[in-house]
Chains A and B, each alone.
Chain A
Amino acid sequence: MPVAYFLVLSALLFSIGVYGVLARQHAVLVLLSVELMLNAANINLVAFSAMLGEAGVPGQVFALFVIAVAAAEVGVGLAIVILIYRNRRSVDIDEMSLMKW
């Protein structure tokens, strides 16, 4: 299959992620959307890696790295979400505007 297919898929996934970040009010859903974007980039990496054939091993390794980083990110993110939930009983990010201007 041509690489372009994967790139289109990746682009779609990335856009969905961006939409999610912009449109969702629930912190966890925003977090999920960010994960979508990361995975879209991952698809890119893997697709290019496959395109390069034998020389493309690093791309796959990097995809694994990114997955690990994403996991850590979710860990920290959820911790912050929980912290906020304990204080406010809500994780609506639109309610967080104490600091502005």
Chain B
Amino acid sequence: MAAAVIALPLAGAAFLLFFGKRMSKASAYIASGAIALSFLSGLILFFRMLGEPGEERSFVMKVYDWVNVGGIHGNGELLLDPLSIVMVLVVTGVGTLIHVYSIGYMEGDPRYSRFFAYLNLFCAAMLILVLADNLLLLFVGWEGVGLCSYLLIGFWFEREVAAGAAKKAFIVNRIGDFSFLLGIFLIADEIGSLSVTEINAGAATMGTTLATVGALLLFGGATGKSAQIPLYVWLPDAMEGPTPVSALIHAATMVTAGVYVVVRFSPLFVAGGTTALTVVAWIGALTALWAALMAAFEYDIKRVLAYSTISQLGYMFIASGVAGYSIGIFHLVTHAFFKALLFLGAGAVMHALAGETDMRKMGGLRRAMPVVGLTFAAGWLAISGIFPFAGFWSKDAILAVAWEQGEYALWALGLLTAALTAFYMSRMYFRVFEGDLEVPEGIHVHDAPRTMAVALVSLGALSVVGGFFNLPGVLTLEHFLAPVLGEPEVPHGVIAWALAGAALVVAFAGIFVARALYLQPEGDARRERLEKTAPWFVGAARSKFYVDEFYGRAIVAPGKAFAGFCADIFDKRVLDGLVNGVAWVVNGVSSKGRHVQTGYVRNYAVIFLLGVVVIASFMFLRVGV
């Protein structure tokens, strides 16, 4: 069954890659069917698991005896436990909705079936990643999602920006992967096993320093995939891909792979004492704030959402860093709902406005496209952390855990970010959907087509009620995850209420500021005055704080120079020369050597005899006759 979860989308992808061309429209339904069935299998597994008592909900199943040579055991073993099943449900559930959405969104694209093949392939790789009980297999999934991400960002590769963005994403991720791979090697060497369960069981024996190094190396990989400082730069550019891709890969699922890995290997992080976890939490908090700042000054609707994704991923790392693993996963789930929704809503807007992404050219769209406007509002309130929307519960829980752990600085950073989040999201919502109707010239605005609307409404509903999955005392995700991740320590009593209240207050504050600056008629004047107080800051934020430029000068340019040297001088002259030279020599020897084979049988006999004589003499010498 667990294998079927992976196999279904994989089969769909293989089928479409081979035969997709002949069945343009049907391919969308095949792909959606495959992922929907996979979701169904996941649900069945989930309910079957609920039937078991808490301690017996982890299974390791051997599907496939893969590499078993010389003490290296790389078996195809799948780990099915509460954590992986939650991930499976998110990936397949959100994945299904986005497949359905894409049926309408991608209509008319010349590579229609190819798109769905990639989507299916991505889902399969992501499922391998979350279900693998073996680091090798996990890495296969890890690289698989990276590859699909590359293919999908650059899906419209005719556009130079898209191709460049794909390349950037791939290369930046490769840096993280390098760290990840080093981590795998270190762990495999120390623990002597590649199995996730065995690594977690043996983490305590590793020694503090080694465990810290191993954990941080894995986290290095996570910063790449999950777009954290310092490797976040690829994600905003990745918005060049089709919007469903941004929703599925660059918001809901793939970018959470890093969070998943940190949570999955939490015993390893714990084994290293506090150092590794502290690093995780602080990187998360700083990233959250940093990205929120940039989001507040961005005008491209998709890029705002990209920065907000980075920021929200930061929250998940804060949660993991303060040992609130299940809270981190909770936020991962709710975020998957509302961020997918926001992206799809943004996609619907772009769809209606012929690809326009600059929010300065939009306004008042709520009346023109009510379904999109309403669902987008749900997403906006959810991410801003307004009660009782999904984001409120998970974000509040993260801040509460940070407080309980005594990490007041982290809590303060989180709170500040929450205010900023509410601000920039409201800014976006007010600009695009409220105020006077404003669209680029010559465009007739239409609401989302049916398939897109289905996905939007479903996700909208989930964004409203998603928080109840972890409603204290009712349906607790925390409790479900506890056998794997342990119960997080949460504050109780007055403090809990006070913290929730604080979060709510800053959220409303953010919204009101945004309203004052963007919705009210005097907003333009106020903004101008505000910007004058610190023009350098505004300029810097608009230029993404010059990080890309800095990377360009400090890393890429010297790298390029070195690569240029390698390619032009070293490779062409030395290596190519060497290779060509070897080929030339081999060819020469071969052309000459073949003439030994004269075709005369007596010559063959002579060579045979020579061999015998040499061997006999050698043997005589050995025995010393």
Q: Indicate which residue in A18, A22, A101 contacts B599 across the interface (CB closer than 8 Å).
A: A101
CB neighbours of A22 from chain B (8 A): 602, 605-606, 609
Q: How far is the CB of B182 from chain A (nearest CB, A)?
A: 51
Whether B598 and A93, one on each chain, are in contact in the complex, defined by CB atoms closer than 8 angstroms, is no
Q: Does B444 contact A (CB under 8 A)?
A: no
Whether A101 and B595, one on each chain, are in contact in the complex, defined by CB atoms closer than 8 angstroms, is yes
Whether A101 and B602, one on each chain, are in contact in the complex, defined by CB atoms closer than 8 angstroms, is no
Whether A94 and B602, one on each chain, are in contact in the complex, defined by CB atoms closer than 8 angstroms, is yes
Q: How far is the CB of A30 from chain B (nearest CB, A)?
A: 8
Q: Report the bound CA distance from A101 to B605 in whole Å.
A: 16
Whether A93 and B609, one on each chain, are in contact in the complex, defined by CB atoms closer than 8 angstroms, is no
Size of chain A's interface in residues, with CB distance under 8 A?
Answer: 13
Q: Does A98 contact B (CB under 8 A)?
A: yes
Q: How far is the CB of A40 from chain B (nearest CB, A)?
A: 14
Q: Report the bound CA distance from A94 to B599 in whole Å.
A: 9
Whether B600 and A97, one on each chain, are in contact in the complex, defined by CB atoms closer than 8 angstroms, is yes
Q: Does B594 contact A (CB under 8 A)?
A: yes
Interface string of B584-615 (1 = CB under 8 A from A): 00000000001101111110011001000000
CB neighbours of B595 from chain A (8 A): 101
Q: Does A21 contact B (CB under 8 A)?
A: yes
Whether B600 and A94, one on each chain, are in contact in the complex, defined by CB atoms closer than 8 angstroms, is yes
Asked if A99 meets B601 with Cβ closer than 8 Å, knowing A18-B609, A22-B606, A22-B609, the reply is: no
Q: Does A100 contact B (CB under 8 A)?
A: yes
Q: Report the bound CA distance from A94 to B598 in whole Å.
A: 10
Interface string of B16-31 (1 = CB under 8 A from A): 0000000000000000
Name A22-36 residues within 8 Å CB distance of B.
22-23, 25
Name A56-101 residues within 8 Å CB distance of B.
93-94, 96-101
The dominant DSSP class at the B interface is helix
CB neighbours of B602 from chain A (8 A): 21-23, 25, 93-94
Whether B609 and A100, one on each chain, are in contact in the complex, defined by CB atoms closer than 8 angstroms, is no
Whether A98 and B605, one on each chain, are in contact in the complex, defined by CB atoms closer than 8 angstroms, is no
Whether B594 and A101, one on each chain, are in contact in the complex, defined by CB atoms closer than 8 angstroms, is yes
Interface string of A11-23 (1 = CB under 8 A from B): 0000000100111
Q: Indicate which residue in B594, B598, B606, B609 contacts A97 across the interface (CB closer than 8 Å).
A: B598
The residue on A at minimum CB distance from B602 is: A22
Q: Report the bound CA distance from A70 to B598 in whole Å.
A: 29
CB neighbours of B605 from chain A (8 A): 21-22
Q: How far is the CB of A53 from chain B (nearest CB, A)?
A: 26
Whether A101 and B597, one on each chain, are in contact in the complex, defined by CB atoms closer than 8 angstroms, is yes
Whether A100 and B601, one on each chain, are in contact in the complex, defined by CB atoms closer than 8 angstroms, is no
Q: Report the bound CA distance from A21 to B605 in whole Å.
A: 8
Whether A100 and B597, one on each chain, are in contact in the complex, defined by CB atoms closer than 8 angstroms, is yes
Whether A100 and B598, one on each chain, are in contact in the complex, defined by CB atoms closer than 8 angstroms, is yes
The residue on A at minimum CB distance from B595 is: A101
Name B94-150 residues within 8 Å CB distance of A.
none
Q: Report the bound CA distance from A101 to B595 in whole Å.
A: 5
Q: How far is the CB of A84 from chain B (nearest CB, A)?
A: 12
Q: How far is the CB of B403 from chain A (nearest CB, A)?
A: 84
Q: Report the bound CA distance from A93 to B594 in whole Å.
A: 20
Question: Which of A96, A98, A99, A101 is packed against the most chain B CB atoms within 10 Å?
Answer: A101
CB neighbours of B600 from chain A (8 A): 93-94, 96-97, 100
Whether A100 and B606, one on each chain, are in contact in the complex, defined by CB atoms closer than 8 angstroms, is no
Q: Report the bound CA distance from A24 to B602 in whole Å.
A: 8
Whether B599 and A93, one on each chain, are in contact in the complex, defined by CB atoms closer than 8 angstroms, is no
Q: Report the bound CA distance from A97 to B599 in whole Å.
A: 4
The residue on A at minimum CB distance from B594 is: A101
CB neighbours of B601 from chain A (8 A): 93, 96
Q: How far is the CB of A73 from chain B (nearest CB, A)?
A: 16
4 more A-B residue pairs beyond the given contacts A93-B600, A97-B599, A98-B599, with a C-beta to C-beta distance below 8 A? A21-B605, A23-B602, A100-B598, A100-B600
Chain B contact residues, CB within 8 Å of chain A = 594-595, 597-602, 605-606, 609
17 contacts across the A-B interface (CB closer than 8 A):
A22-B602, A22-B605, A22-B606, A22-B609, A23-B602, A93-B602, A94-B600, A96-B599, A96-B600, A96-B601, A97-B598, A97-B599, A100-B597, A100-B598, A101-B594, A101-B595, A101-B597
5 residue pairs, one from A and one from B, having the closest CB atoms:
A100-B599, A97-B599, A101-B594, A93-B601, A101-B597
